[in-house]
Amino acid sequence: MSSPDAMQPAIASLAKTCEAIANGRYDDVDELFDIITDKHVPESIRALAETFSSMVVQVEAREFHSGQLIEDLTETRRKLELAEAQLRKENQELKVRLDKFEVAYDEKEAKMEVEKVADTDYFRTLQARAKSMRSKYKKQP
């Protein structure tokens, strides 16, 4: 059995290391491994150090995974921003093209144009020919 004197430094080291881990500092994790392998430290303290060591590995794995996710999301965001900028540019270009092809329809002006065409001798001649052809084909059996 270990003496209380051998246990005190191990507990103090464990407490200090756990506090560092709780604050996100993993530099002193090697001290946990020292406690785990020290046969002069009671089994219960070594088991506790091993549990904390396992938790550190899990936390570091989660932080690594979170970092990877953040990098992936950052890259995805960058791609989306580029795509958005490209779409904005294409939409602007299409709007300019549409403005060039847009024709305003003025009903009064259209009516005047029709009347102008209908009021010509050429149109009256075409109308007469069309009427003649219709009546000619209606008479045929």
What's the pLDDT score for residue 114?
87
**With contact defined as beta carbons under 8 Å apart, do 40 and 2 qualify?**
yes
**Under-50 pLDDT residues of the chain:** 1
Name the pTM for this structure: 0.52
CA–CA distance, 67 with 64 (Å, rounded to integer): 5
pLDDT reported for residue 81: 96
Of 35, 32, 77, 34, the residue nearest 59 (C-alpha): 32
- Over the stretch 117-129, which tens digit does the pLDDT of each residue have? 888 998 889 889 9
Cα 109 to Cα 99: distance, rounded to the nearest angstrom:
21
Whole-number pLDDT of residue 17: 87
pLDDT given at position 133: 87
